[in-house]
Amino acid sequence: MTGRFGVYIAVVMTSGYTLTCVVGLGLPASDYNPALGLKNAANKLAYDADVKDEFWRFILFVPVIINCIMLTVFFLFIRTDSIMFNLSKKDEEHDGEALKLIDRVYDSSEDRQEILAVLKGQVKEKPKSNAPYCESLFGKKNRTTTIYMMVFTSLIQMSTINVLNMYCNRIFTVINADTPAGQKVLANSATQVFGLAGFLAVIVSPLIQKRFRYRIPVLRVGQVAITISLLGLAASVFYRQGYWALAFIILFNPSYQWGIASLHWVIISEVSSDVQFGFISFTHYSNAVILSLTTEYMMNGWGAEGMFAFFAGLNVAGYFFVTYCMKETQGLSDKEKKALYLPQDELEEDKAAAKESLI
């Protein structure tokens, strides 16, 4: 991985966030704060502007446009099937297509023919496998990989990327309630800056990935930077400093995009089986749903500052998890990556079986 597959995923996701922020430019610039009520003159003007605004109709129509474009692109331009689908056809033409895709997805330092051979072996083995679903996830051979990757995928949600996407506007509205006029940052403007900073951070991300040889150190630095950003944001909300908060959400973007965002799915796909990857993906999006249901309660109970301090603590724990539990995948073959979290006795059995097959 030299900044292609993982970064492409991050670019696509962040482009969506950025588009959302750009569309938000059409919304009223004034911040309506329900906590202040309508007796406050400025708040009353902001409320009236929200009521009269018709731009929400365009916002609802944007997803329709995007989905039409996606369907058009899918049917007219995407003509390549997945690697495993091509290999399942078991002919030279489809093997050639699979080899082209391997060249695009895997790092150039890895042996393409070796990867092709390993993946073809997996295609052969799958119909013969009668392992129960739970055994494939939490059996002795697989449980460490599954549990570690479940924790790892949870870290990307605990970075608060979705919380910031959902509540950036709300955070600055809260800050502005008790902030002198000259020190306010309009919530709508702050949201646009946050989206733009995220997009720019993703564009630079391939250069960062190519610059460093190993992935774990990049993840560790990213966890430290995310923690600093969240603590700074918590302090900014507590002291009602809009420009500080803006600076820390800008810092958050490279901290997140250059580290866990661009490496997360790549590492998980490298070390897990198809069954594990599906379950881990379910865990990932379940975390997002749980956060969407609980964030409002955390904001109301702890305040935005308490919520961000809580997530900062989780990211400190994440730093130690990455340091002591995650293993380096850079430069390893596909077979070596899949064996990283196997129990020692299973590794010995695999080595013994390999020796026997050579005799």
The DSSP line for 80-123 is ---HHHHHHT-SHHHHHHHHHHHHHHS-TTS-HHHHHHHHHHHH
Mean pLDDT within 8-36: 65
Structural domains in the chain (count): 1
The model's confidence at residue 179, banded by pLDDT at 50, 70 and 90, is confident
pLDDT higher for 134 or 248? 248
Residue 280 within any structural domain of the chain: yes
Residue 338 within any structural domain of the chain: yes
CATH, residue 335: 1.20.1250.20
Residue 298 within any structural domain of the chain: yes
Alpha carbon distance 216, 213 (integer Å) = 10
Which residue range is the domain that position 249 belongs to?
A: 136-346
What pTM, to 2 d.p., does this model score? Answer: 0.75
The yes-or-no verdict on residue 293 having pLDDT over 70 is yes
CB 251, CB 200: distance < 8 Å: no
Residue 83 within any structural domain of the chain: no
Alpha carbon distance 335, 351 (integer Å) = 12
Residue 94 within any structural domain of the chain: no
What one-character DSSP code corresponds to residue 350? H
What pLDDT is attached to residue 351?
Answer: 61
Alpha carbon distance 125, 123 (integer Å) = 6
CA-based end-to-end distance of the chain:
35
Question: Which tens digit of pLDDT belongs to each residue from 83-140?
Answer: 877 787 777 777 888 888 888 777 777 788 888 888 877 775 544 445 688 888 888 8
The model's confidence at residue 280, banded by pLDDT at 50, 70 and 90, is very high
Residue 231 within any structural domain of the chain: yes
Alpha carbon distance 112, 50 (integer Å) = 57
Alpha carbon distance 321, 159 (integer Å) = 14
